[in-house]
Amino acid sequence: MNKQMILLWSTVFFILFSSCEQETDILPETQPEAENATALVKNGPLSVMYVEVNGSNILNAGAYSLKNSGAPFFDIAVIFAANINYDTANERAVFHANENVQEVLDGRDTYVQPLQDRGIKVLLSILGNHQGAGIANFPDRAAARDFAEQLADVVYTYDLDGIDFDDEYSKYGENGTGRPNSSSFIMLLQELRELMPDKIISYYYIGPSTNYLEWNGNQAGDYVDYSWNAYYSTYSAPNVPGLSPAQESAAAVNINQTSSSTANNFATRTVDDDYGVYLMYDMRQSDYTSYLSGISTRLYNEETALTGQLYPWPMGSSPGESKVTLYRHCDYVEEAAQLDEGSYTLSQLTAAGMINDDVSSLKIPSGFTVTVYEHDNFGGISAELTSAIGCLTEISLNDEISSLVISKN
């Protein structure tokens, strides 16, 4: 073999040896990444939790784990809620986020990413806002596409996992808007699915849209991933054409109002009836370990453990120092008074700065209940509120409050 051949083979051997050596060096760096990406798996129905972010911290949905496996109790957390507003000048439905929803979105690294890191999907609920715009009255495909584009932009801008539709409080016909029609919701779903092929679309089964779930040979279930019963403390499956029981929740549980025995019974029935989802609502800064354990032992054959921190809302507030805030207008516009725990007659409310029959929204810290009354001295129509309410028209007491009681839960 001549010197040139020896030199050539030496070069080839050096290159091959160097390549192998580089690959060996890379392996220790990539291996931990793969280990960290391993998800904790649980067997059983998906658990969904709606969180009223006007008064509660969505991070608390990530504080609970199954005791043995360590898997997160909740599979989906829903930010409740952004709105469909109506731009009267341009006759257009527009996306609206109040200050609390916007804080969660802008602070996604603080509020959303930690949940996603645990494998919990985070959806944004879309709700009517008393302005005539809703998911059931888009007049044509262009209007449905316009709103779908707005929603998709929010989902991708804030790296959310999907959209949840809630057909309440739209007040169809207001501001000259149209009545619900047969094509609107299907067109919206079609357009949104095209824009978000890999995201979740869920449907809170309520409102006029429930009557329009098939159109032009298309079914809502062709585009919706999940749907759930909207009436708490009841067990009734939604009737969404195209969805299977594995995509539905017949159970609807308010964890602050539905009794443990009822919630446990619904969990047993969910498994027995082969439903794939179990819906819950209104998580706050409270320890729900015992309540959730009753559910998880039936859904997953495991008890629940509190494995994370429980946070107040706003994040930096202290529950003991929080106050109930009254506002003169809907959507928390123009603060009227801040109140501590106690009973307030009209004269006491006036002394605190409130004007009689001039309150339209309230912010309620986690851990408090506010009972509002139509008349002075706790008389007339009343309503018990456990989380913030953006407009008292929802309970027919807008500009009608003359006394109230604030108590700790």
Q: Tell me where in the chain the CATH 2.60.20.10 domain(s) lie.
A: 319-408
Residues 181, 183, 187: CA angle, nearest 5 degrees: 135
Helix (H) / strand (E) containing 253: strand 251-254
Give the pLDDT of residue 372. 95
Strand pairing of 342-344 and 403-408?
Answer: antiparallel
Pick the CATH number of 46-306 from 3.20.20.80, 2.30.40.10, 3.90.1580.10, 1.10.15.40: 3.20.20.80
Give the position of tokens 């098939």: 214
Residue 39: per-residue pLDDT: 55
319-408 CATH: 2.60.20.10
Report the distance separating Cα 333 and Cα 100, nearest Å.
Answer: 13
Contact 118, 157 (CB under 8 A): no
**DSSP alpha helix (H) spans, 198-305:** 260-272, 289-299
- What pLDDT does 2 receive? 44
Give the Cβ contact number of residue 243 at 10 Å: 23
Low-confidence stretches of the chain (pLDDT < 50) are 1-38, 319-320
* pTM, full prediction: 0.75
Taking the C-alpha atoms of residue 225 and residue 215, their distance in angstroms, rounded to an integer, is: 18
**How does pLDDT run across 51-74, given as a tens digit for each residue?**
999 889 999 999 999 999 999 999
As annotated, the active-site residues are 168
Structure-token match 């062709």, residue found: 222
Alpha-helix residue ranges (DSSP H) falling in 217-367: 260-272, 289-299, 346-351
Nearest to 195 by CA among 225, 155, 164, 160: 155
Residue 332 is predicted with a pLDDT of 80
d(CA 88, CA 342): 42
**Chain region(s) in the chain for CATH 3.20.20.80:** 46-306
